[in-house]
Copies of this chain bind each other. A is one copy, B any other.
């Protein structure tokens, strides 16, 4: 019985880190303990600094935070944790380090068994079948692009609509996802900042106030409404 929040972003414009997700976090981590996976290192910050940011952001919640890098045996830490949060940053780095520490499969297993899981950005991207709809630069070569697959589709966090009248010739997000679908068949959900997927038991629900953009191979993309059930997306 899955119990997870997969958020597009950790932070909304004008807010502090995790601020808009605090009610969800309070509800999700009932055991008041959280293992933080800091591997994605946004902007290259250290594991310790990244973990301190999470500790500080959650200090009024009563949730105790410990970084995965603080454990000698990361696999055991994942296995025994009462709740897990994977933060954003660079998805290639995150995936490489999860494989290198032999915890990709284990992380999948504990999430499927019901360990509460929060992902933001890269931490959400890896919940999909593969990391291949990430927006990040390939700063390190991971042993595989396969990820947790706790949802039966791919996720594009920080989804951005095409900028009207843009003069820039780089590809839009939609064009990139269309290119993905020339070689891959799983659906992709473009999650805008402020949206998250709630996985509860067998249900996948779109949360937040915004619609999400759904891309299926050989179909015209469409918008999913807030609160809609996405169980059939596969």
Interface residues of A (CB under 8 A from B): 9-14, 41-44, 89-90, 92-93, 131-141, 144-145, 158, 160, 167-171, 175-184, 193
Contact = CB atoms under 8 A, between A and B. Distances in A.
B44 A178 contact: yes
Main secondary structure of the interface of A (DSSP, over half): loop
Nearest to A144: B141
A45 B219 CA distance: 16
Contacts of A138: 92, 131-132, 134, 138, 145
| Chain A to chain B: the 9 pairs with minimum beta-carbon distance, closest first | A44-B182, A13-B167, A158-B170, A139-B180, A137-B176, A9-B169, A132-B138, A90-B179, A141-B145
Contacts of A141: 144-145
B137 A179 contact: yes
A134 B137 contact: yes
18 contacts: A10-B169, A11-B169, A12-B169, A41-B179, A41-B182, A44-B179, A132-B138, A132-B139, A134-B137, A135-B171, A136-B171, A137-B177, A138-B145, A139-B180, A139-B182, A139-B183, A158-B168, A158-B170
Given A43-B179, A139-B132, A168 B193 contact: yes
Nearest to A166: B13
B139 A184 contact: yes
A176 B44 contact: no
A169 B13 contact: yes
Given A12-B169, A43-B179, A140-B183, 17 more contacts: A9-B169, A9-B170, A11-B169, A13-B167, A41-B179, A43-B171, A43-B178, A93-B183, A133-B137, A134-B138, A135-B137, A137-B177, A138-B145, A139-B180, A139-B184, A158-B169, A168-B193
A34 to B, nearest CB: 22
